[in-house]
């Protein structure tokens, strides 16, 4: 059981299960997942391809619906048996940041506009937002690229921008799904160090999915997902 009792929690999930149904076929991907993430802490998840890591992050983010279970964001109990409503999307944009393997920057707009996007979604856009975005981009070492469009950036630079975007709204929790999966070893290490340092400085709790053992060990707690269950290692 991955419970931590004494510290206030950024996120908690209990007994989350998920089965995909494809016609008559059923694929039970997650079975009774329990996870608790203290504030300002980090946790890594490893596991074979296809074991359900992305599905688990999608349930925690309420992008996908669980079959059953309970989910708490901060002290707020969330519905996990349906995906977020339109109103809840604004709340999600301030509670949660997500970083994906494939960056998912918007190609038509420049770096600064990409990074300020979450403030528009959470409806907290004001003059301070651009300063916040610039400061995060500086922290990520890409402060000199703000007027570029993503297509002009290297993979490592794109991921640095995506991390700045994910942190813009000062989320309580950041979910990172194989964030260095598309990067070469050295670039991946640089980006991972920046990610870990930024989360720690910002007091953002991190759930990191990675295949890299060294990166996994850099988090406060390490887990392994296998046969639908999450075990601390």
Ligand X SMILES: Nc1ncnc2c1ncn2[C@@H]1O[C@H](COP(=O)(O)OP(=O)(O)O)[C@@H](O)[C@H]1O
Q: Which residues bind Mg ion (CB under 5 A)?
A: 53-54
Sign of the alpha-carbon torsion through 77, 69, 46, 101: negative
Q: How far is the CB of 211 from Mg ion (least distance, A)?
A: 10
Beta bridge partners of 209: 45, 177
Q: How far is the CB of 50 from Mg ion (least distance, A)?
A: 8
C-beta closer to Mg ion: residue 116 or 219: 219
CA 98-103-105 angle, to 5 degrees, is 95
C-beta closer to Mg ion: residue 53 or 221: 53
C-beta closer to ligand X: residue 52 or 171: 52
Does 55 sit near ligand X (CB under 6 A)? yes
Does 20 sit near ligand X (CB under 6 A)? yes
C-beta closer to ligand X: residue 150 or 188: 188
Residues 83-142 that bind ligand X (CB under 6 A): none
C-beta closer to ligand X: residue 1 or 27: 27
Residues 24-53 that bind ligand X (CB under 6 A): 27, 29, 47, 49-53
CA 94-90-142 angle, to 5 degrees, is 45
Does 226 sit near ligand X (CB under 6 A)? no
Q: Is 39 exposed, middle or buried (0-12, 13-18, 19+ CB in 10 A)?
A: middle
Q: Is 190 exposed, middle or buried (0-12, 13-18, 19+ CB in 10 A)?
A: middle
**Pairing mode, strands 205-209 and 42-46:** parallel
Q: How far is the CB of 114 from Mg ion (least distance, A)?
A: 23
Count of residues that bind ligand X according to CB under 6 A: 12
Structure tokens at 46: 């490893």
What, of ligand X, Mg ion, none, does residue 51 touch, CB below 5 to 8 Å by kind? ligand X
C-beta closer to ligand X: residue 173 or 225: 225
Show Cβ contacts of residue 44 under 8 Å, excluding neighbours closer than 6 positions: 207, 208, 209, 210, 215, 216, 217, 218, 219, 221, 222, 223
Q: How far is the CB of 79 from ligand X (least distance, A)?
A: 19
Nearest residue (beta carbon) to Mg ion: 54
**Pairing mode, strands 42-46 and 221-226:** parallel
DSSP 3-state assignment of 111? helix
Q: How far is the CB of 129 from ligand X (least distance, A)?
A: 32
| Site residues (vs ligand X, CB under 6 A) | 20, 22, 27, 29, 47, 49-55
């Amino acid at each position: 059981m991955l419970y931590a009792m004494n510290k206030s929690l950024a996120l908690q999930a209990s007994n989350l299960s998920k089965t995909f149904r494809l016609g008559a076929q059923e694929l039970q991907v997650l079975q009774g997942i329990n996870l608790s993430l203290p504030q300002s802490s980090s946790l890594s998840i490893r596991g074979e391809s296809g074991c359900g890591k992305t599905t688990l992050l999608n349930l925690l983010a309420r992008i996908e619906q669980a079959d059953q279970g309970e989910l708490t964001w901060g002290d707020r109990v969330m519905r996990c048996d349906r995906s977020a409503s339109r109103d809840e999307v604004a709340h999600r944009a301030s509670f949660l940041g997500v970083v994906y393997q494939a960056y998912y920057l918007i190609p038509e707009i420049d770096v600064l506009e990409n990074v300020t996007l979450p403030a528009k979604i959470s409806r907290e856009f004001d003059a301070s937002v651009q300063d916040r975005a610039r400061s995060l981009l500086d922290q990520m070492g890409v402060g000199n690229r703000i007027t570029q469009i993503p297509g002009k950036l290297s993979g490592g630079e794109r991921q640095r921008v995506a991390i700045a975007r994910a942190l813009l709204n000062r989320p309580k929790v950041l979910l990172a799904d194989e964030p260095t999966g598309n990067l070469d070893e050295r670039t991946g290490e640089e980006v991972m160090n920046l990610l870990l340092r930024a989360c720690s400085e910002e007091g953002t709790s991190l759930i990191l999915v990675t295949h890299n053992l060294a990166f996994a060990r850099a988090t406060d707690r390490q887990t392994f997902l296998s046969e639908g269950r999450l075990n601390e290692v």
